[in-house]
Amino acid sequence: MGFRMGIVGLPNVGKSTLFNALTRTAAAQAANFPFCTIEPNVGDVAVPDGRLEKLAAIAGSKQIIPTRMTFVDIAGLVRGASKGEGLGNQFLANIRECDAIAHVLRCFEDGDITHVEGRIDPVADAETIETELMLADLDSIERRRANLARKLKGNDKEAADQDRLLAVAQKALESGRPARTVDVAPDDLRNWRLLQLLTSKPVLYVCNVEEASAGSGNSQSARVAEMAAAQGAGSVVISARIEEEISQLSADEAEMFLTEMGLEEAGLDRLIRAGYQLLGLQTYFTVGPKEARAWTITKGMLAPQAAGVIHGDFEKGFIRAETVAYDDYIAGKGETGAKEAGKFRVEGKTYEVKDGDVLHFLFSG
């Protein structure tokens, strides 16, 4: 289980440059004019996790298989997109298919790269896109509620539930709040997600700064961080230019480059970690002589459902999970040492999988 994150933003903010860096390809054309990205470019990237290599070294695994996440580079948005301006309709359709939004904001000055609105103001840029998404949601809600009218007259319970949730979302949007600010009851969560409202998706603000500010950010990214905190959203500082340079280097060269730049880690790592936190994701591992592999699950997932991420039959026939925490596996230099230290556990169907668990599932076929 991975997740799909749409990279969005106004034209010329660095979306395609970031996408190229993330996917280590030049598939997305980065050019200094609006709408250079016409079709959404999709790239699967490995999630970097230093724990996986350490586990593989201890187990003598022949193959290392990281978990993956999908990035979608979506066409640049302009004011009026909710009414179909620019590539608005296409933009809105593509974003609807994503689990979360990485909203790239221009936090750098560069006279050679034009800004579609002629000024550098990342908070205003964020508000422009948020407004367009809210207007698109309102339009969608009004049309959907009108279509439900006949079913409501026939006392259709499913239609009534849908209309009730749409009405709650409409009230929030009309008061200037995105749908993600709505407090949804646990029993309604599944139907709420099925509404696929654009503004219900979690947002991560990506502050694209100049190279000199890649480590600590600048005054513009500080404004974005303040806005994100007020919204309960995430924010991360990144230099798309630096990430693009790093993506062309070997692992050793990249490490040396980061050291020279005074950076502790690549922006990709920060971006993925922020994305994980945004969606409540975590990683568990399966380790053996054949392969060491990472798997992505949601926090709070029980052992049978975690097993189902590998294969549906594992969940259906789940018997038990044998588990060792990552730190205990490393300290014991493997499963045997962990067992001798009393750190090997057998867990049942109600066990909540923890980040870093090394698991082996037993199931009936």
If one compares 102 and 19, the residue with the highest pLDDT of the two is: 102
Written as six digits, the tokens of 334 are: 């493997």
Q: Please state the rounded mean pLDDT for residues 244-265.
A: 86
Instruction: Please write the tens of the pLDDT for every residue from 7-46.
Output: 888 888 888 888 888 876 433 333 433 434 445 578 888 8
Q: How much is the pLDDT for 1?
A: 52
Residue ranges, CATH 3.10.20.30, the chain: 300-363
Pick the closest to residue 322 from 348, 297, 301, 291 (CA basis): 348
Chain centre distance of CA 308? 21
User: In the predicted model, is pLDDT for residue 47 greater than 90?
Assistant: no
pTM of the model as a whole: 0.81
Residue ranges, CATH 3.40.50.300, the chain: 4-52+64-278
Instruction: Please write the tens of the pLDDT for every residue from 276-318.
Output: 888 889 999 999 999 999 999 999 999 999 999 999 999 999 9
Indicate the annotated binding residues: 12-17
* Listed range (7-16, 176-185, 188-197) with the worst mean pLDDT: 7-16
For 264-331, give the DSSP string.
SS-HHHHHHHHHHHHHTEEEEEEE-SSEEEEEEEETT-BHHHHHHHH-HHHHHTEEEEEEE-HHHHHH
Which CATH architecture group holds 300-363?
Roll (3.10)
* Listed range (12-26, 115-129, 248-262, 292-306) with the worst mean pLDDT: 12-26
* Listed range (114-128, 185-199, 253-267) with the worst mean pLDDT: 114-128
Binned at pLDDT 50, 70 and 90, residue 78 comes out as low
Question: What proportion of the chain, given as a percentage, has pLDDT over 70?
Answer: 88
Helix (H, G, I), strand (E, B), or coil: what is residue 202?
Answer: coil
Pick the closest to residue 132 from 180, 199, 192, 182 (CA basis): 199
User: In the predicted model, is pLDDT for residue 365 greater than 80?
Assistant: no
Indicate the annotated binding residues for ATP: 12-17
Q: How much is the pLDDT for 111?
A: 60
Chain centre distance of CA 363? 31
Give the number of other Cβ atoms within 10 Å of residue 230's Cβ.
Answer: 8
Token pair 């350490």: residue: 54
Binned at pLDDT 50, 70 and 90, residue 90 comes out as low
Binned at pLDDT 50, 70 and 90, residue 270 comes out as confident
CATH of domain 4-52+64-278: 3.40.50.300
Token pair 């996408």: residue: 19
Q: How much is the pLDDT for 38?
A: 40
Q: How much is the pLDDT for 52?
A: 94
Q: How much is the pLDDT for 275?
A: 85
User: Across the strands, what pairs with 88?
Assistant: none
Binned at pLDDT 50, 70 and 90, residue 87 comes out as very low
